[in-house]
Structure 1
Amino acid sequence: MSTEKPGYFTEENSADVVIARNADASDKRLAEVMAVITKHLHAAVKEIEPTQEEWFEAIKFLTSVGHTCNDWRQEFILLSDSLGVSMLVDAINNRKPTGASESTVLGPFHVPDAPELPMGADICLDQKGEPMLVRGRIVGTDGQPLDGAKIDVWQANDEGFYDVQQKGLQPDFNLRGVFRTGPDGTYHFKGVKPKFYPIPDDGPVGQMLQKLGRHPYRPAHLHYILEAPGFETLITHIFDPDDPYIHSDAVFGVKESLLAKFDLISDPEQIARAGFDRPYYEVVHDFVLAPAK
């Protein structure tokens, strides 16, 4: 272990002195990561020139974020989401070839082992809200349809709540389902038109957003996990482009390629053909999966 001192700590050389202290790290990747973080953190402090009081407020904020975390709530992930870091990490780890559908964050409300349903089934178990038909195709980047692709889909209800948020009010697995495509790669299922909803804003992250003049809302969307043998798994959403928060998603999850028009269908023949007894929303969106690396 090295005991050499690279120099006394000064305002000018602060980052270099700290980084040099980690020269004997057994985990070289950790040392590399900490060197980058140290450089940028020290540069930010030098640019901001915080007072002692401001720095202590930052410490108290991070402490409060930690105290808010528990078995079912992760305030640090919420902080990462609201700063755009979660989406940046997702983008770096999900670079796609030309033509492949883009990913976005998983979100906290996915439930494993949702029931597998016959294609075309209605995932709305309580029949509340405005009916919706979602359909499209799943293909590879070569345009060929994917037979046997697994589609895991879930959504919030017409009030902006997931079933796990309203135990006893919504049936278990309400607005969730798993489907598998046939040889033509098409899919279709019924649900209800989702609504925008706020991320948890009763903690320190919510207070931060309020002070920054930001709202906590996510625009209306549907969640997908798409899997097919020989292809990369795609975790993504599709969004309502007419939602009032479509241009200001609190977690920066919206991408232009993931916008899917929610068209209101009122023609009696189309209503009857779709199996509804009243006007419904139709959403058409195709997905393109990238070949496995």
Structure 2
Amino acid sequence: MSIKIIDPHVHFFNLVEGQYSWLQGTHPPAWPNLDKIKKPVSAQQLIKSIDFELAGLVHIEAGFDNISPINELNWLDSHLKDIPFKAISYNQIDSPADQFINSLEALAHPSLCGIRDITEGADAKRLLSANSFKNLTTLSDTQLHFEAQFDIENSEITKQVAYYAKQLPQLHIIINHAGLPSNLNTWQQAVELLAQHNNIAIKFSGFELLQLTSQQQITCFNFLFNHFGEQRIMFASNFPVCQINTSYSNLWHCHKALCSSDKVWHSLGYANAKHYYQV
């Protein structure tokens, strides 16, 4: 099968040179198949593991070196030399504005297209900081994305992110992992609010980390499609974490099965990621 895809949410690990304290410290995540997830994988191995044509990818920061995250970007240059890619790096979104700008300048790299700072759970309150708005303004001015990974069912935070989107219409905000749905009624209310802003897009990924049935995942997809539409949703893998419960290839076939037409599949599996990330 020669259908092109672009995967906008992939992680590669270099456990020898990188730190990854969250993954190989004293308290690693209690995930099934953790050994498989930690296994070194090259771009060529990933390309060969799937019967679609992997035409590009977006690497999402994975904790290689949060003190000097440029080291991850430099390593990716050699590790991903066989495939077109862009990269999302790390910068603390609520750091003082001068510190944020200095850290951003230290990340100067041809692959850089955005910043992620995970704000799940109690960390979400950091998005309420006045510093966060200043730093998002900097991202907007420098045409870099903000990859937002938080529980959108937290209505206070979702309202704040929607406010940022309204105040910064040139800023692309990409919601990671479908907004981490749990309570679908509350999640749907958040989707309705976020989808009102054309500069917010969302990735359909990360369900291996969530406690939803297959039917609930389909419900989530249909609801997202009805509100974000064909142009602002991207299928993504969260590889290698997706291997908690499925293979990389099978995941993409499941994504394709959600689509009502080849046109929808092309948009969500390839064209939208190419548009947002310019891979």
**Fold agreement, TM-score > 0.5:** no
More strand by share: 1
More helix by share: 2
TM-score computed with the length of structure 1 as normaliser: 0.24
Give the number of the structure whose alpha-carbon radius of gyration is greater: 1
